[in-house]
Structure 1
Amino acid sequence: MQIEWAERNMPVLMLIRERFQREKPLAGLRLSASLHVTKETAVLARTLAAGGADVFLAPSNPLSTQDDVAAALAADGIKVYAWKGMNEREYYNAIGAAIAHSPQVTLDDGGDLTITLHKLAMGISDESIQYARETAGDLDFKALVKGIYGGTEETTTGVIRFRSMEREGSLLYPIIAVNDSYTKHLFDNRYGTGQSTWDGVLRATNALIAGKVVVVSGYGWVGRGIAGKAKGLGARKVIVTEVDPVRALEAVFDGFEVMPISKAAEEGDIFITATGDMRVIDYNTMLRMKDGAMLANAGHFNVEIDVDAVEKNAVGKREVRPFMVEYKLPNGRVIYILGEGRLINLVAAEGHPSEVMDLSFANQALAAEYIVKNRGKLTPSVTKLPEDLDIEIARLKLKAMGIGIDELTEEQRRYISAWALGT
């Protein structure tokens, strides 16, 4: 029923599925995906399978899998290796199993599948690679990588990782940065994360946001969404912390206070990180916080809040609610860390609403088709989905919502394309 509800609210992806069912553009394709296993991801997996792909689905976070969804997909015949609450070994066993599927296209959310595959091909070993080898087996990973047409990346963190690999010359196959599509980051990151982050915080705490001081670290599209929703929920003050002068200035012009995290630490009631970087809130910052401060993370990896440091230094710890752990600090104050410092919207809630994932996963489906159509023509680089496909997704979404827009007249087209016309 959950998947059916998501399908009802994902009309663009369902239109793509109808076409995929007729045309079979992915016929015979082996596709491995490392994505959050949610009801919306199930709609994408079914769409890819309708297009003819042999789909293997692994998680992209140890705590984000919806077990009933995973079971339903397995019953559909889609290969799934995921459950909620995996430990590190189990998680990388799942990634290894996705690699053992010998994919020709990879889909990623955060980059763990693609980067693990690159490490295996390059002979790089660490603990995660040892775990992945347990299920990946003794494949010729270099040959496997050479046979991959390309991959996709869903989120900002993963795109940053792949662009770093591209700069270093270590990227071995093409990556479509789905996150960079306008119909992804302008909507998913801002409206989807903005709403679902607060959904996770509210489920974990049942706190009243009205009257509180909220601190948002990072003012990219995700931070913008979180800060805007905090204001809408009645926060008394919303403070933004940033390292980028342009984004900091934008936050000021949007009506938020901007200050360093060291100062914001003394004012905030609720802290949410959204930067993609590590130790944004470190232990010394926690020591400056008010008694009872709540900390959550909206970035992909669990590194933005230094949970390890507080685990090491706290003089007391107890779980007071599901996904809410109280730490007593040496100075006598307590703080609450939500969702183990992992993605709060998927740990304590259900992730983004289906309506916004309709856009994101339409990009994923069309990116997979684009990679197959252009196999052998793409170079090992990070590129966007072609703009015409991005625009088509927006057009289909507007149509599904019953919204019409204007069209340029021929005279208007000539005017904006001509250089000689002046005052």
Structure 2
Amino acid sequence: MNFDIKDPSLAEKGRLRIEWAGRDMPVLSRLKEEFEKEKPLSGLRIGACLHVTTETANLMVVLKAGGAEVTLCASNPLSTQDDVAASLVKNFGIPVFAIRGEDRDTYYAHIKAVLDTHPHITMDDGADLISTLHAERPEQAKEVLGGTEETTTGVIRLRAMARDGALKYPVIAVNDALTKHLFDNRYGTGQSTIDGILRATNRLLAGSVFVVAGYGWCGRGLAMRARGMGARVIVTEVDPLRALEAVMDGFEVMPMEEAAEKGDFFCTVTGDIAVIRKEHFLRMKDGAIVANSGHFNVELDLDGLKEVSKEVRQIRDQVQEYTLTNGRRIYVLAEGRLVNLAAAEGHPSAVMDMSFANQALCCAYLAKHAKELKPQVYVVPQDIDRRVAEMKLSSMGIRIDRLTPEQEKYLSSWEMGT
């Protein structure tokens, strides 16, 4: 078995952490039992480019239980948990190509190592696997039944590919499942981003001004949690509807140019490029802390920041101090990469349980139906979304009402009126 990890001796520690995460992933656990019996992925090779975390490990185990040959690489150089990678290789026999802190060349070499397995299904978090395949190995696309995409940034890239006629096989946007983005993006990102910022800085949020760039589901969750910690929250947006919603939710809304002068903490969650630029850095207070929780570090213009800085030093783990030409100091967390994964452990297992249940069920769906689908981006089938929600409620011991025949008839007809 080929693999490339940091240290196989970390496997036992990783195994225990995988077990710990699995205790809070009951939906995925139930799917594992089902997949072991039915083998819906038998004979298929799955190439996954995801954050190598304890939660991801539990998903990989389920896919293997379903009969698939699974190979995993990292979707971010700083999100890999090396003990988890070691355990997947040693304890579960799953090839992993991921080392925390790997450079760009190694990162893409690992992606190509996954592509070397000639996957039938691709599984992405950010679309780097699928974009590399399309750009460098287009001939392999005919071998692929379909793919899944985990995050907003990746879905944006894939929809652009589909719009340009470049997408060569169908992809299911797992990110857009209600049981994913309403919970993972909101509650997962909100809690884990605050966790990463606090682990990196040990600074007090209460009484501070916290600027959230972007008010999608991730931004909503982050703003909610920052306010819950006692911060005064400012939201910056380009979408008038989302900006209006932020105002109605009780947050201040203003352009980044104005917010830059007020904030003590800044965090981008937009999925776009150059959200905080050098002109914004130059307006910030001495000691401002800047982080990103969008998928790629491009949300912060770090090259522009270097241009207006006279000194850069590592002052704490995951904290770089930039001394600007005006003498003020700006602190960038986790090199501008996903702060919740680089400085903490990512989303709590309970929300990833639903996200990864969607991934597993969508893989099984593709195994059955991919040949019926055109090369475009699809939403998660509604019955999968509802099933995940029902399984989650059941695992929590929660029961809900069901429509009576009379109610069903009323909702599906027009004759009854008022």
Q: So what's the TM-score if we normalise by structure 2?
A: 0.95
Matched residue type, 1:251 = A
Question: How far apart, CA to CA, are the structure 1 residues paired with 2:370 and 2:254?
Answer: 48
Question: How far apart, CA to CA, are the structure 2 residues paired with 1:375 and 1:316?
Answer: 53
Corresponding position of 1:106: 122
Corresponding position of 1:183: 179
Corresponding position of 1:9: 24
Question: How far apart, CA to CA, are the structure 2 residues paired with 1:335 and 1:375?
Answer: 49
User: 1:385 Cα shift?
Assistant: 1.4
Question: How far apart, CA to CA, are the structure 2 residues paired with 1:404 and 1:292?
Answer: 50
Matched residue type, 1:103 = P
Corresponding position of 2:204: 208
Question: How far apart, CA to CA, are the structure 1 residues paired with 2:391 and 2:410?
Answer: 27
Corresponding position of 1:167: 163
Give runs of aligned pairs for residues 230-309 of structure 1, distance below 5 A: 230-235=226-231, 237-309=232-304
Question: How far apart, CA to CA, are the structure 1 residues paired with 2:401 and 2:395?
Answer: 16
Matched residue type, 2:122 = T
User: 1:411 Cα shift?
Assistant: 1.1
Question: How far apart, CA to CA, are the structure 2 residues paired with 1:234 and 1:118?
Answer: 46
Corresponding position of 2:63: 48
Corresponding position of 1:357: 352
Corresponding position of 2:407: 412
Corresponding position of 1:126: none
Q: Are the counterparts in 1 of residues 273 and 300 from structure 2 also a CA contact under 8 Å? A: yes
Q: SS of the counterpart of 1:364? A: helix
Q: Are the counterparts in 1 of residues 170 and 370 from structure 2 also a CA contact under 8 Å? A: no
Question: How far apart, CA to CA, are the structure 2 residues paired with 1:85 and 1:409?
Answer: 56
Q: SS of the counterpart of 1:48? A: helix
Corresponding position of 2:218: 222
Question: How far apart, CA to CA, are the structure 1 residues paired with 2:20 and 2:278?
Answer: 42
Question: How far apart, CA to CA, are the structure 2 residues paired with 1:90 and 1:410?
Answer: 59
Corresponding position of 2:8: none
User: 1:162 Cα shift?
Assistant: 0.4
Corresponding position of 2:39: 24
Q: So what's the TM-score if we normalise by structure 1?
A: 0.94
User: In the alignment, which of 117, 130, 141 is matched to residue 133 of structure 2?
Assistant: 117
Q: Confirm or deny that 1:311 pairs with 2:306.
A: yes
Q: Confirm or deny that 1:373 pairs with 2:372.
A: no
| Structure 2 unaligned residues grouped into runs of 5+ | 1-15
Per-residue deviation, residues 78-107 of structure 1 (Å, max 9, x unmatched): 010101000000000000001001000000
Q: Which contiguous aligned blocks of 4+ residues in structure 1 show a shift greater than 6 angstroms? A: none
- Larger CA deviation: 258-267 vs 412-421: 412-421
Question: How far apart, CA to CA, are the structure 2 residues paired with 1:112 and 1:311?
Answer: 26
User: 1:420 Cα shift?
Assistant: 1.7
Q: SS of the counterpart of 1:318? A: strand
Q: How many corresponding residue pairs?
A: 402
Q: Are the counterparts in 1 of residues 189 and 347 from structure 2 also a CA contact under 8 Å? A: yes
User: In the alignment, which of 88, 94, 108 is matched to residue 104 of structure 2?
Assistant: 88
User: 1:379 Cα shift?
Assistant: 0.8
Corresponding position of 2:320: 325
Q: SS of the counterpart of 1:376? A: helix
Question: How far apart, CA to CA, are the structure 1 residues paired with 2:303 and 2:79?
Answer: 20
User: 1:398 Cα shift?
Assistant: 0.3
Question: How far apart, CA to CA, are the structure 2 residues paired with 1:207 and 1:373?
Answer: 51
Per-residue deviation, residues 325-352 of structure 1 (Å, max 9, x unmatched): 1110011110100000000000000000
| Structure 1 unaligned residues grouped into runs of 5+ | 122-140
Question: How far apart, CA to CA, are the structure 2 residues paired with 1:417 and 1:377?
Answer: 29
Question: How far apart, CA to CA, are the structure 1 residues paired with 2:252 and 2:338?
Answer: 25
Q: SS of the counterpart of 1:303? A: helix
